[in-house]
Amino acid sequence: MTAVRGTVSATFDDEVIGVIIGGAAVQLELDAPPPPDAVGRLVVLTVDDLEFHPTGL
């Protein structure tokens, strides 16, 4: 397992959140809607499978 820590910067209606990890902004797809007060929260994610889709931004 890998642990990733960041701060939620935005939430979206399609079960996606924006997270700042280090100096990078990352969008994460969730299995359920995020809580309404998620923005600003520190999150620690444990993952067993990561897929990266760079946008070139």
pLDDT in tens, 29-41: 889 999 989 999 9
pLDDT for the residue numbered 24 = 86
Residues 6+ apart with CB under 8 A from 24: none
pLDDT band at 9 (very low <50, low <70, confident <90, very high): very high
Cα dist. 53→26, 34, 44, 56 in Å? 10, 21, 20, 9
pLDDT for the residue numbered 50 = 73
Contact call for residues 39 and 10 (beta carbons, < 8 A): yes
pLDDT for the residue numbered 56 = 67
Which pTM was predicted?
A: 0.77
Task: Give the residue, 26 or 56, on which the prediction is more confident.
Answer: 26
Q: How many of the other CB atoms lie within 10 Å of CB of 19?
A: 21
Q: In a 10 Å sphere around its CB, with 0-12 CB exposed, 13-18 middle and 19+ buried, how is residue 6 labelled?
A: buried
Task: Give the residue, 46 or 55, on which the prediction is more confident.
Answer: 46
